[in-house]
Amino acid sequence: MKRLFIYLFFCTFSLNAFSQTVISGKITHDQGEALAGANVYLQDSYDGVSTNESGAFSFKTSKTGDAVLIVGYIGYEQIMRKIELKGDTIHLNINIKEKFNQMNAVTITAGTFEAGDKRQAITITPLDMMTTAGAVGDVYGALQSLPGTSTNGESGRLFVKGGDSNESQTYIDGSLVYVPYNSSVPNLSTRGRFNPFMFKGTIFSTGGYSAEYGQALSSVLLLSTNDMPTEDQLDLSLLSVGAEVADTKLWKNGAITGSFTYNNLAPYMGIAPQNYDWVHPPESGTGAISIRQKTGKTGMFKFYTSMAKSELIVKQANPNADGDLFNYNLANDNYFMNGTWNGKIGEKLAMNIAASFTHNSDCIRYDTVSVDQKTVGTHLKNVFTYPFTEKFTLKFGGELFSKTYSQNALIPSGIHFNSFSNHELSVFTEAQIYASSKFITRIGTRIENSDYLNSLKISPRISAAYKLTDNSQFSLAYGWFYQNPLDDFLLYTHHLNLERADHYIFSYQSSINKRTLRVELYYKDYKDLVKTGNGAIYFPSTYSNLGYGYAGGLDLFWRDNKTIKNGDYWISYSYLDTKRNYENFPKEAVPTFASRHNLAIVYKHWFSGLRSLVSLNLKYSSPRVYNDPNSPVFNGAKMLPYRSLDLSWSFLYRKNVIFYGAVTNALGFKNEFGRQYANTPDSGGNYPGIAITPQSNRFYVIACFITLTKKGNANQLDKIN
């Protein structure tokens, strides 16, 4: 009996061993490389194994019949494959794909610098807007340390990739700001109207941007205001040129902030040397109210309104009168309002409603001329976003631009009043498609119709990005971009087309261990630019769309906040090749606002023992051209190169008290921005000219920022961290 039991046991064991199935193979990921550590097993069993360093696996199972083989690995899609177990050998080579996750997926960076979105490789942060030397608290000043921009010291506005400053548009929370800069005297620099403390994030697109935005041939600046504050707060800002007070009060799911700013440069200019004779130094006052209110589970309503008044009187030289001085008087009234609502309708459909209103008037008096200019603009916008799947999102919407511009001029020959009103309706749609987490395509179309110009334009846009590694990627963008001609032209004619620029952008970006490298090539083809003839400015026949031009170049950006302990620096370089034949140009030539080479080196260092942040900004722009009527070569004269070393120091005296000091052009480099010439030659046949100089060789500012809260540990920089 014992022998029979042993015999039956060995027979059964031999039968099981004979019926075992051997399952082997190799696991690779979607790039074809071996995947080590992947789990390979049979469903509802303990039979399985992990792949080795070569991605190979092999195991045995005594199960028979139909089975499901499962391959799993963190971050990759699970594979389930049906197999039949017949006691033989099964060899499988299986390729698994990386699991899609938008948070880790590639993003399009061609032509775009983004700050505030932690998903992206951040090149600048909102904090940089305040602490970059030379910016002196100006959003546009801080952006001029980025590649693609050209510094025009006599303007202060944004000049992007061979484009004039009027080719850039500014949006706050999705709504257009018709007049983003303070009014200024010709040949003197200006600043942006808005305090950087208002904003939590910035997207600066230097070209190839989304179909959602139009009426900009070169760039768009998208500013996002702060969300809900966390506590009641009183902010006091004391500066050498003025003061500001802002008070924030919270209630359930809502908050309101009221602020008042007063600036008067008279005391400062009485101490600091100036290159101009100021009769009434710049003086301004601004009051603003900001409201935040949560609506439902996902909605947020934001409302902002501001009223500002400013005035200045400066003596300027008149080249037509042998340099005699005359008073230039400028008084400005500006009212701005915008409101937005963001939220979801249902589980997936997101909606954004934005609206803005601008009323801006300038009263100008100089020599024997009196000019009153007024801009009244409204912008209404509605955008819907629907994610059909995690890999396919559709954005669509429409917007209405309404603008009235008038000019009432009193000159020796009489009174001239001109105005126009334009209503522009635009619709757009855009699809964002992920082929995988490594490749994304964005395809969009924008249609714009202007009733004043009786013009309908279609703008195709496409952009894409491919992730080479976890830390690097390529991006490209192409599109058509339209913009209305200048207001000063539309005053006298509506027989013009929209101006057009075609963008071609290719960029590479790598971000590894807090170091970012960005290289971008671009080309812009300008078409249908406004060309002015020899007729009087009030004749419609003087204007045509026969102008054209191009702009191409290379932008380099390197940022490193790892190598130097407590140090952070970036280097920005731009090469620009551009020419135009537009407006009153007699031939194709380099425009006066373009510099071939632009360099900015920014360094910031935190001295913990001194509780201080020190920043320096070295800027250089190669000589720009200007036209000397005494020369036979149009735009053949060259300015001095622009050079400036700017310094700033922030001292954290207490958690809620910050002292700040800054100086621009600390080394006193001589800067000139060409010359202004008389309209007629003198008795010797020469056109007298006067050098265009900065307002002052240096600008100094000293400030103290105080924040009062119940906890006492907040400061004003918290708003933009």
Q: Helix/strand/coil (H, E, C) string of 664-706? A: ECCCCCCCCCCEEECCCCCCCCCCCEEECCCCCCCEEEEEEEE
Rg of the chain (C-alpha set): 32
- pLDDT, tens only, 12-21: 444 444 468 8
Determine contact, residues 433/443, Cβ cutoff 8 Å. yes
The number of angstroms, rounded, from the C-alpha of 571 to the middle of its chain's C-alpha atoms is 18
Q: What is the pLDDT of residue 77?
A: 83
B/e letters for 556-566, b = 16+ CB within 10 Å, e = fewer, are ebbbbeeeeee
CATH of the domain at 35: 2.60.40.10
Same domain, yes or no, for 88 and 117? no
Determine contact, residues 506/490, Cβ cutoff 8 Å. no
Find the mean pLDDT for residues 620-642. 94
Task: Examine the pLDDT at 546 and tell me if it is beyond 80.
Answer: yes
Q: Which of 37, 62, 96 is the last residue of a domain?
A: 96
C-alpha separations of 380 from 177, 425, 518 in Å? 12, 10, 35
> pLDDT band at 440, cuts 50/70/90?
confident
Q: Which of 69, 96, 123 is the last residue of a domain?
A: 96
> pLDDT band at 326, cuts 50/70/90?
confident
Same domain, yes or no, for 131 and 90? no
**Bridge-partner residues for 283, per DSSP?**
264, 311
Q: How many domains does the chain have?
A: 2
How many beta carbons lie within 10 A of that of residue 671, not counting itself? 20
Domain limits for position 565: 112-720
Coil, strand or helix: which one is 5?
helix
pTM, rounded to two decimals = 0.85
Coil, strand or helix: which one is 162?
coil
**Bridge-partner residues for 664, per DSSP?**
699
> pLDDT band at 455, cuts 50/70/90?
very high
Q: What is the pLDDT of residue 654?
A: 87
Same domain, yes or no, for 71 and 119? no
601 domain-assigned: yes
C-alpha separations of 705 from 239, 553, 719 in Å? 9, 41, 13
7 domain-assigned: no
Q: What is the pLDDT of residue 4?
A: 43
- pLDDT, tens only, 181-206: 999 988 889 998 888 777 877 888 88
Tally the C-alpha atoms within 13 A of residue 465's C-alpha that lie toward its C-beta.
24
CA 453 – CA 43 distance, rounded (Å): 68
Same domain, yes or no, for 34 and 176? no
Q: What is the pLDDT of residue 599?
A: 96
Same domain, yes or no, for 208 and 82? no
- Amino acid symbol at 306: S
Determine contact, residues 24/58, Cβ cutoff 8 Å. yes
Same domain, yes or no, for 63 and 154? no
Please state the φ and ψ torsions of residue 141, each to the nearest 5 degrees.
-65, -40
C-alpha separations of 291 from 60, 262, 720 in Å? 68, 21, 18
233 domain-assigned: yes
> pLDDT band at 256, cuts 50/70/90?
very high
Same domain, yes or no, for 608 and 522? yes
CA 617 – CA 601 distance, rounded (Å): 6
Determine contact, residues 255/249, Cβ cutoff 8 Å. yes
Q: What is the pLDDT of residue 136?
A: 75
How many beta carbons lie within 10 A of that of residue 88, not counting itself? 10
Same domain, yes or no, for 594 and 636? yes
Strand order from edge to edge, sheet including 56-61: 56-61, 21-29, 89-96
Question: Any idea what DSSP says for residue 99?
Answer: P
Coil, strand or helix: which one is 479?
strand
Q: What is the pLDDT of residue 513?
A: 87
Find the mean pLDDT for residues 239-266. 93
Same domain, yes or no, for 87 and 179? no
C-alpha separations of 704 from 241, 257, 707 in Å? 12, 20, 10
Determine contact, residues 563/529, Cβ cutoff 8 Å. no
**Bridge-partner residues for 304, per DSSP?**
290, 338
533 domain-assigned: yes
Task: Examine the pLDDT at 128 and tell me if it is beyond 80.
Answer: no
CATH of the domain at 557: 2.40.170.20
Higher pLDDT, 322 or 388: 388
**Bridge-partner residues for 365, per DSSP?**
329, 370
The number of angstroms, rounded, from the C-alpha of 669 to the middle of its chain's C-alpha atoms is 30
Task: Examine the pLDDT at 418 and tell me if it is beyond 50.
Answer: yes
Higher pLDDT, 470 or 700: 700
Strand 543-560 vs strand 567-581: parallel, antiparallel, or unpaired?
Answer: antiparallel
Find the mean pLDDT for residues 336-363. 94
Q: Which of 38, 72, 96 is the last residue of a domain?
A: 96
Same domain, yes or no, for 29 and 150? no
Q: What is the pLDDT of residue 713?
A: 59
Record the tokens describing residue 153, joined without a space: 């010291």
> pLDDT band at 710, cuts 50/70/90?
confident
CA 426 – CA 483 distance, rounded (Å): 12
Residue position matching structure tokens 């970006």: 509
9 domain-assigned: no
Same domain, yes or no, for 195 and 323? yes
Record the tokens describing residue 473, joined without a space: 């990627």
Find the mean pLDDT for residues 617-632. 95
Record the tokens describing residue 117, joined without a space: 């979105």
Listed as own residue / partner, the contacts of 443-450 with beta carbons closer than 8 Å and 24 or more positions apart are: 444/210, 444/211, 444/212, 444/395, 445/211, 446/211, 446/212, 446/214, 448/214, 448/215, 448/424, 448/482, 448/498, 449/424, 449/425, 450/422, 450/423, 450/424, 450/484, 450/498
348 domain-assigned: yes
527 domain-assigned: yes
347 domain-assigned: yes
CB-based contacts of 271, cutoff 8 Å, min separation 6: none
- pLDDT, tens only, 560-619: 988 999 999 999 999 999 999 999 999 999 999 999 999 999 999 999 888 999 999 999
Give the residue among 181, 184, 182 at the shortest CA–CA distance from 314: 184
Start-to-end CA distance of the chain, whole Å, equals 85
Find the mean pLDDT for residues 338-356. 93
CA 626 – CA 635 distance, rounded (Å): 5
> pLDDT band at 5, cuts 50/70/90?
very low
Find the mean pLDDT for residues 528-535. 91
Same domain, yes or no, for 37 and 116? no
